[in-house]
A and B are shown apart, each in its own frame.
Chain A
Amino acid sequence: MSLDKATVRRIATLARIDVQEAELEPLAGELSAILGWIEQLQEVDTSAVAPMTGGTDAALPWRSDVVDDGGQPEKVVANAPDPQDGFFTVPKVVE
């Protein structure tokens, strides 16, 4: 499997990582090498195998759907880059 520059650009957009034009070609090479190596999985017959979807086969526990924490907006925004009045802020998203 070999990735071209256009595909790397598309993945980078999906991942919200700004990639400069000059970085696309080397990245395509590195990612293609990794994917080429991963390709060997295709030779394994998995037709009768159920996927392992987590690190444990234990059933997930249930709990009551009640509020047991909260009411600390100062702590929640304490690490934000530019908090205002207990809110997170972002660049303008509506015109």
Chain B
Amino acid sequence: MTSLTALTIADARDQLAAGKVSAVELADAHLAAMEKAADLNAFITTTPDVARDRAKASDTRRKKGDVGALDGIPLGIKDLFCTEGVLTTAASHILDGFKPPYESTVTAKLRDAGAVMLGKLNLDEFAMGSATITSYYGPTKNPWKAKGSSVDLVPGGSSGGSAAAVAASLCMGATGTDTGGSIRQPAAFTGIVGVKPTYGRCSRWGIVAFASSLDQAGPMTRTVRDSAIMLQVMCGHDPKDSTSSAHVVPDFEAVLKQGVKGLKIGIPKEYRPDGLNAEVSALWDRGMGWLKEAGAVAVDISLPHTKYALPTYYIVAPAEASSNLARYDGVRFGLREPGKSLDEMYAKTRAAGFGAEVKRRILIGTYVLSAGYYDAYYLKAQKVRALIARDFDQAFEKVDAILTPTAPSAPFGIGERMDDPVAMYLNDVFTVPASLAGIPGASVPAGLTATGLPLGLQVLTKRWDEETLFRVSQVIEDAAAFPRLGAS
């Protein structure tokens, strides 16, 4: 029998149903693996008591024949989701000691479907970063290492704890959130699947807000099927988030094996800039080759405003963040630094509580929203954002899906690229455009570099068409036969 932590969600579901394994056994196997791999720093908080309680309750439910879609499945939760009575930090000092009296809608749905929470996963502070190095709780290490090297690599970010934990088989799946690539880029860096659904698919209620017009929750798993299973439970309309959609949620798992015969796949020329990493470029060609062999047709397309996506994002996201993070004032929750006046207390609390990258983004956001600069920066960015969204609309008149690399490079070393914020931002060059347009995107592990590090391919489809997203992703996964960590 395969080790319990190596099971996929789909396999575990079958074995639980067949009575071959119990939820308690699954939870214990994962809790033991978490302890052994504590050095990765994937978790900020582990919740073994919650996990064992929920696993026991799941086994009891199963005896009565009353089980949910994820009953007994051990999951990790990104520490950006509020969890009732369990420390929720957003990886920031400013949320010290914060135990929400409520549960986020997405984690409540997972809990109600029977999922077993193992703990809260590390991330970049307030999800601002691409390497999980800005966490107040220290960086997370990528479980992958280059061949013959002992250098610790970043797992990508901001959902780096989720990515590392899933890749290292410390949990079967994890929640992530994606504002500009924070699910897809870490998924690529750790050789797992990450899906950012259409903006509005998942409720944002109870997720610590970063940039509200961009934030979306999604699943991070070891297989495409597992992401389909998890997303099915996570999404759906929620009256508590006015931007969550009442769109019908299709059966994602049912479409996985429908293939891509006859589908038109767009290859955007703007995603192949001069100097694109040769291995990334070659993998992209190989990916299109697999889709062609499965009956799809390649179509050259243009998304002309692609180069403006990152600068647009770095106005829109900090602007929204500066507003969202105004709530951390030392009055209602978290850290408080004493001050002689109310203003001094605010300023000292925020100076002590926020890290350097968060401060930078709040200051940029405050500046672009300030009197005299609003039109030149913020309004301008909103207009360019409309052009970026229009590029995709026009492309999807001609194609069913778009294929690109997920990230411009393989994972890099912890400590690299930290001196220049703009160089770090370039990690998200291929993921940010879809975030701005609000369309769904998935990263599928597709190959290894010559040094044995994972690379991912990104699939994009039009709004609300996660079914095509999953179909294309499944074909890539089947063709790539990606060597999962610890599976060989």
Contacts and interface: CB of A to CB of B under 8 A. Distances in A.
Interface of A: 3, 7-8, 11-19, 27, 30-31, 33-35, 37-42, 44, 46, 49-56, 58, 60-61, 63, 72, 75-82, 88, 90-91, 93
Interface string B300-325: 00000101100110110000001000
A44 B322 contact: no
Contacts of B333: 79-81
A49 B383 contact: yes
Interface pairs A-B: 4 shortest CB-CB:
A51-B382, A81-B336, A46-B383, A79-B333
A12 B363 contact: yes
B421 A34 contact: yes
Nearest to B382: A51
Contacts of B348: 18
Contact of B351 (A18, A56, A75): A18
A78 to B, nearest CB: 6
Interface string B418-434: 00111000000000000
Contact of B322 (A15, A30, A31): A15
A83 B420 CA distance: 42
B275 interface: no
Given A46-B383, A54-B213, A56-B438, 4 more contacts: A11-B366, A15-B362, A16-B326, A44-B305
A70 to B, nearest CB: 13
Contact of B382 (A16, A35, A52): A52
A93 B419 CA distance: 41
B346 interface: yes
Given A11-B366, A44-B384, A61-B242, A91 B311 contact: no
A29 B305 CA distance: 28
6 contacts: A33-B421, A49-B387, A52-B382, A79-B100, A88-B331, A90-B342
A79 B345 CA distance: 17
Interface in B375-398: 376-377, 379-387, 389
A50 B239 contact: no
Interface string B334-354: 111011111111111011001
A40 B213 CA distance: 23
Contacts of B354: 17
A2 B468 CA distance: 46
B332 A80 contact: yes
B364 A35 contact: yes
B129 interface: no
Interface string B199-216: 110000000000011101
B245 interface: yes
Contacts of A3: 367
A16 to B, nearest CB: 4
A90 to B, nearest CB: 5
Contacts of A52: 382-383, 385-386, 389, 436
Of A8, A13, A55, A58, most B-chain CB atoms within 10 Å: A55
Contacts of B199: 55-56
B99 interface: yes
Contacts of A41: 308, 311-312, 315, 380-381, 384
Contact of A90 (B331, B380, B386, B436): B331
Given A79-B333, A91-B340, A17 B359 contact: yes
B242 A60 contact: yes
B342 A93 contact: yes
Nearest to B333: A79
Nearest to B345: A91
Contacts of B364: 31, 34-35
A13 to B, nearest CB: 8
A17 B377 contact: no
A60 B213 CA distance: 13
A13 B344 CA distance: 10
B243 interface: yes
A12 B348 CA distance: 11
Nearest to B315: A38
Contacts of A91: 338-342, 344-345
